[in-house]
Chains A and B, each alone.
Chain A
Amino acid sequence: MHLRPKSLDEAMAFLSEERAVVMAGGTDLYPAFVDRPPPARILDITAISGLRGIVREADHWRIGGATTWTDIARASLPPAFHALKAAAREIGSLQIQNRATIAGNLCNASPAADSVPPLLALDASVELASASGTRTLPLADFIKGNRRTEKRPDELLTAVLIPGIAEQARSVFLKLGARRYLVISIVMVAANILRTADGRIAHARVAVGSASAVATRLANLEAALASAPAHTPAGSVVAEAHLAPLAPIDDVRASGAYRRDAALTLVRRALAEADGDA
């Protein structure tokens, strides 16, 4: 059964009664059923009105859950979103980006999801809606582990909310893969840095993906950047110890040791690039 409601209320009412696999672009769901029968019941959220699009509200940006990566890549957004837009162009192929959605990428909760480090660097939250109400969770709390999230079966991820702060930050996304296109990341890094007029770092966000079960911000590095003397090159602040939150694993793409080593290089490069040294 393929259900494709037109309104959010319909969808939530249905989920409050019955279980279904929630699908948006289908680009993660269909590959999971190559050699197996598909799920018996799919709730398709792509026809729900109001779930797609990006709007600036009073103090934050709202990206509808069914917004595609192509929508994001084509949107006119402040400099702080540069990493997110760059990540949007690295998620699968153009064919994937044209259909895959931000809600799908977050709910799929892959450790290698390219969108998560840039969204962490933007202090993103997710809005979860159900028949019993709406709640908002920081993205860092929403994704709990490899393929695990806080979303209840009766909930939909209706929007990603991004606070309207540090919108002029320099924003960089670096992805390391074993080939140029259509590649699952070995490691990726997002960094958003805003300096004051006198050269101090007023706002620093650095997040690393594919090097732990959930992409993570490097809080100690961010603190070190914020307390660095004015005009200190951001890349020079990075120390190996700042990568302590990472727990990279060995897999078909790379060894854990390599991931840690590469993450250090990419963090340094991302920060240097944010300073304008490409």
Chain B
Amino acid sequence: MLDAAPATAFTLNGEPVRVPADPAARLTRILRDELGLTGTKVGCDAGDCGACTILVDSDTACACLTPLAQVEGAALTTVEGLATDPIGRRLQSAFLAAGAAQCGICTPGMLIAATALLRANAAPSESEIADALGGVLCRCTGYRKIIDAVADAAADTTVSTPSPQAGRAVGARIARLDGREKVEGRDFFGADAIPPDALWLKVIRSPFPRARFTFGDFDAFLASHPGLVRIFTAADVPGRNLHGVIPPFADQPVFAEREARFRGEAVAMVAGTRAAIDRLDANAFPVAWQGQPSVQTMDAALAPDAPRLHANRPGNILTRGRVARGEADAALATADVTVSGSFETGFVEHAYIEPEAGFARRVGDRIEVTACTQSPYMDRDDLALVIGLPPESVRIVPTAVGGGFGSKLDLSVQPYIAIAAWHLNRPAALVYSRPESISTTTKRHPARMSVTVGATRDGKLTALRFAGDFNTGAYASWGPTVANRVPVHASGPYLVPNYRAETRAVHTNLVPAGAFRGFGVPQAAIAVEQLYDALADKLGVDALEFRILNALTATDPTVTGQVLGAGVGFRACLESLRAPRAKARAAAAAFNRSADGPRRRGVGVAGMWYGCGNTSLPNPSTMRIGLKRDGRFALHQGAVDIGQGSNTVIPQIAADAIGVPLAVIDRVSADTDLSPDCGKTSASRQTFVTGRATQLAGQAIRALILRQANAGPAAAIEPGDGRVLIRDGDVVRSLDLATLPLDSHGYVLAAEETFDPPTAPLDADGQGIPYAVYGFGAHMAEVEVDTELGTVRVLHITAAHDVGRAINPTLVEGQIEGGVAQGLGMALMEEFLPGRGENLHDYLIPTIGDVPPITSILVEDPSPVGPMGAKGIGEQALIPTAPAILNAIADATGIRINRTPATPDRIRAALLAGHP
């Protein structure tokens, strides 16, 4: 029969259901909205990411591509149904124990795909696991722990680390404390908690890189579109129509006023019922566009007669950065050996699997925003300006974050949902589509860099000169940070006595570039670490030994004149690569000798350093820990966990600082109404800065408890039910918590401590103390190049990192493996072309089949400032991967790739040019 069926009947996780809904509806909508099962995630609506993978009978399907009608009579399994399935349950435990879930947004899809595999194949090989999971993208883990977890589940060899006893939390490989929700599909991400009565929003965006516009008849448009409620434009912004992550540079309007400055910029917004918004064709919106001459490259933007994007920024220069030490020009002129090179990198998209999402509601004269974010207090303060409220009248409730990597530091959906909820006095929701996420949120800055390096004949670096332009797009975002961070880091962690690095952040009519794991340092490393190899070649010395010879030590001044004094484990990282590198080089040489075909193997290394936290700016975190009447501790864990693990690492630090078992610590979320400001999750600062604040707060509440009992500093604290025992040698005192008064937060005892890393301003030459702590590392890449096709297979990455102290080695490895995967993508396949690649099939990130085995080497040279000696690892892990791979390609082929990504066509062209 041809009539639409009134209801579709199927079995869902073993229960029969009938759904009276549009038979053409995507199954993701039915599961999430009609049936309330939000464990099935939506990452692209296009079958490109696999986050929505479910089982239809025994086979996997993307629920986003499956119409409701097609599951009539079928048996569906979603992540919510795995707990009652023996294979599913085993996989959940294995994922948790192995650290296979980081942010957790891909986890349901991975678990379902793995369930289908293990039902059909009880003992899969690694390649069979990869084949089965190849359709699910993960941006956090680098996939290695996922492969391990599936193998563990298959063999039923999962080993769970027990919750550590007092004093044993730091250093323990415990499973992430928020992991159970993630593997069971119960964690709420930005799109998962939207109230049913919310109005939905659609943002109207410029189709031109630069355009003026005039609006048509809104009343007629609303009247002809039932279900639409209201249109908003710049005139409806209650406060300041401007936002920006660095207040002095705030320049981005919520809605463009006269002129849109990039393709995808918002000019208006429509609110309506979800059905009406679904039906809405944005092309029908009453607006007339007049495209204007635009600048879409840095060359065009820097031309003398270029149109200026911002009146107060002559030459389209947003900011400049500079660090100078010694006499770079003179030293290069007299150096025994010099090499020079120019390098270029493209836009890189964060490609987290969770598009930006959230909802807002107005509560009296306050606004509450529940959304995914890396920076709740920054969101609060900026939204307060947009809505025209005092900051205390804005509440930010962070959801779980399905990957951030820097882009979710900036506002995305938040101003739109807040403005709509404020005016309409109804919850307002906005979930970015994948094209909307890619085309409008920040990217990694494209860079164009010229570098000259000089050394003495015996291989000591004497000078380095670096000039870099960074395409910052239409608005400032983190452009100033990139321009300032790069000159401080461009030398790498080497003793370079004569140095000058100058940068410019250049505006163009393109999507804003902002923060992305490393703030420009990865781009600089691609240039400089390749030139160090070229210099070593020219000197005839080994590339690794050259780095060891020049490695910065604790007593050497950095390029900003800072002497770190302690905690410089770079040389140890390099030395740890000696043996694996000798082995890898021998293996590559043997392969190249025996292979007469087009495949050549090579080995490359690269080093890195990265300053943790803001550059010479205040950067505090405040931690509150309270002892509750029930004898448990409340930890105000305000360091947003975007998958990197602060929900686990911070409690580990707290437990050992207080001296109690980890199991007695309860997390309070990063909700700005509940927890003090732990700053933003960026710049590899949370383990270091919030960790240190936590250590201080833990020590403080420990002291308060001991004081209650008149106990000495070595006494043991044993929390019990409604009391705390303090055991001081043979003396045991019981603190009866029921009898003690409660403070304003409801705690018997509480401590709040702030830590701000000790830095000092940089002078005009960039001399000073930009960071209190640096992380160090070095990677080795082994690659195989198919010289006829220009394709590269990365065979193995060995990653040595000085993390000071590994608070949780499993999570540290997870950061390293995920950073390597992103570095590999940046090296070989990732480039966003505005207007052309706004999806996850044209914009490619590595799949499970692209990330090779990764061997992590953890070096622990304790930082005197970090908690228990710990340093950051989040960004460090990505920086050396791409240059190590590019150096390995050069080792294999003799060809140096100066333009990333090193796609097959670029490598092949370089090979043809090099070997005519």
Question: Chain A interface mostly helix, strand, loop or mixed?
Answer: loop
> Chain B's interface: helix, strand, loop or mixed, by majority?
loop
**Are B788 and A99 closer than 8 Å at their CB atoms?**
no
Of the 9-residue stretches B248-256, B311-319, B829-837, which lies at the interface with chain A?
B829-837
Q: List 25 A-B contacts (CB under 8 A).
A: A2-B23, A10-B1, A26-B66, A30-B65, A34-B839, A38-B24, A42-B24, A93-B47, A93-B50, A95-B50, A96-B65, A96-B135, A176-B789, A179-B846, A179-B850, A181-B134, A181-B850, A184-B842, A252-B833, A252-B837, A252-B842, A253-B842, A255-B905, A258-B790, A262-B789
Query: Which residues of chain A in 230-278 are interfacial with respect to chain B, using CB atoms and an 8 Å cutoff?
Result: 252-255, 257-258, 261-262, 265-266
Q: Does B903 contact A (CB under 8 A)?
A: yes
Query: Are the C-beta atoms of A37 and B279 separated by less than 8 Å?
Result: yes
- For A35, the closest partner residue in chain B by CB is B433
Interchain CA distance A25-B67 in the complex, whole Å: 9
Within 8 A of A (CB), among B1-26: 1-2, 4-5, 22-24, 26
Tell me which of B54-62, B160-168, B413-421, B862-870 binds A: B54-62
- The reply to whether B24 and A2 contact each other, CB–CB distance below 8 Å, is yes
Known contacts: A25-B65, A27-B47. The answer to whether A182 contacts B135 by CB under 8 A is yes
Q: Which residues of B are at the interface with A, using a C-beta cutoff of 8 A?
A: 1-2, 4-5, 22-24, 26, 44-48, 50, 53, 56, 59-62, 64-67, 69-70, 72, 113, 130-132, 134-137, 278-282, 433-436, 788-791, 828-829, 833, 836-837, 839, 841-842, 844, 846-850, 903-905, 908-909, 912
Bound-complex Cα distance A181 to B840 (A): 12
Tell me if A92 is interfacial: C-beta within 8 Å of chain B: yes
* Complex contact B905–A180 (CB within 8 A): no
**Could you tell me the distance between the alpha carbons of A27 and B70 in the complex, rounded to whole angstroms?**
12
* Least Cβ–Cβ distance between A213 and chain B, in angstroms: 18
Q: Give residues 168-225 of A contacting B (CB, 8 Å).
A: 176, 178-184, 186
List the 4 closest pairs (A to B, CB-CB), nearest first: A93-B135, A180-B849, A181-B134, A258-B905
Cβ-based interface call for A31 (8 A): yes
Residues on B with C-beta less than 8 A from A37 are: 278-281
Least distance between A41 CB and chain B CB atoms (Å): 9
**Cβ-closest chain A residue relative to B908:** A258
Residue interface mask A39-82, B partner, CB < 8 A = 1: 00010101100000000000000000000001000000000000
Closest to B598 in A: A265
Q: A31-B47, A38-B24, A186-B904 are in contact. Are A26 and B70 (CB under 8 A)?
A: yes
* Residue of B with least CB distance to A30: B65
Task: Enumerate chain B residues within 8 angstroms of A70, measured Cβ to Cβ.
Answer: 59
B47 touches A95 (CB 8 A): yes
B70 and A46 contact, CB distance less than 8 A? yes
Are A252 and B836 in contact (CB-based, < 8 A)? yes
CA distance A141 to B175 in the complex (A): 58
* A176–B904 touching, CB < 8 Å: yes
Residues on the B chain within 8 Å of A186, using CB: 904-905
Q: Chain A interface (Cβ within 8 Å of chain B)?
A: 1-6, 10, 14, 23, 25-27, 30-31, 34-38, 42, 44, 46-47, 70, 92-96, 98-99, 176, 178-184, 186, 252-255, 257-258, 261-262, 265-266
Residues of B within 8 A of A35 (CB): 282, 433, 435-436
Q: How far is the CA of A47 from the CA of B46 in the complex (A)?
A: 23
A176 touches B65 (CB 8 A): no
Contact between chains at A30 and B64 (CB < 8 Å): yes
A94 touches which one: B46, B113, B849 (CB < 8 A)? B113
A178 touches B904 (CB 8 A): yes
Q: Which residues of A contact B62 (CB under 8 A)?
A: 27, 93, 95-96, 99
A30 to B63 Cα, complex, angstroms: 11
Q: A30-B46, A252-B836 are in contact. Are A183 and B66 (CB under 8 A)?
A: no
List the B residue with the shortest CB-CB distance to A262.
B789
- The answer to whether B842 and A254 touch across the interface, beta carbons within 8 angstroms, is no
Whether A2 and B847, one on each chain, are in contact in the complex, defined by CB atoms closer than 8 angstroms, is no
Residue picked from A4, A38, A96, A254, most chain B C-beta under 10 Å = A4
Judge whether A2 and B69 touch: CB under 8 Å.
Answer: yes
Q: A26-B67, A35-B433, A179-B844 are in contact. List 18 more A-B contacts (CB 8 A).
A: A30-B65, A34-B433, A38-B24, A42-B67, A47-B72, A95-B47, A96-B47, A98-B56, A176-B789, A178-B828, A180-B130, A180-B849, A181-B847, A252-B833, A253-B842, A262-B789, A262-B908, A265-B789
Contacts of B280 in A (CB 8 A): 37
- Distance (whole angstroms) from the CB of B66 to the closest CB of chain A: 7
Among residues of B, the one whose C-beta sits closest to the C-beta of A6 is B1
Give chain A nearest CB distance to B340 CB in angstroms: 27
> In the complex where A2-B69, A26-B67 touch, is A34 in contact with B46 (Cβ < 8 A)?
yes
| Cβ contact within 8 Å between B65 and A26 | yes
With A95-B53, A179-B844, A254-B904 known to touch, is A31 a contact of B135 (CB < 8 Å)? no
Contacts of B903 in A (CB 8 A): 178, 254
List the A residue with the shortest CB-CB distance to B905.
A258
A1 and B4 contacting across the interface, CB-CB below 8 Å: yes
Q: Is the CB of B69 within 8 A of A94?
A: no
From A27, A34, A42, A44, residue with most partner B Cβ within 10 Å: A34
- Which residue of the partner chain, among B1, B26, B69, B904, contacts A44 with CB atoms under 8 Å? B69
Contact check, A34 vs B135: say whether CB atoms are below 8 A apart: no
CA distance A122 to B788 in the complex (A): 28
Contact of A181 among B5, B788, B848, B908 (CB under 8 A): B848
B281 proximity list for chain A (CB < 8 A): 36-37
**A98 CB contact (under 8 Å) in B2, B59, B908:** B59
Q: Which residue of A lies closest to B62 (CB)?
A: A95
Does B844 lie within 8 Å of A94, measured CB to CB? no
Q: How far is the CA of A4 from the CA of B24 in the complex (A)?
A: 10
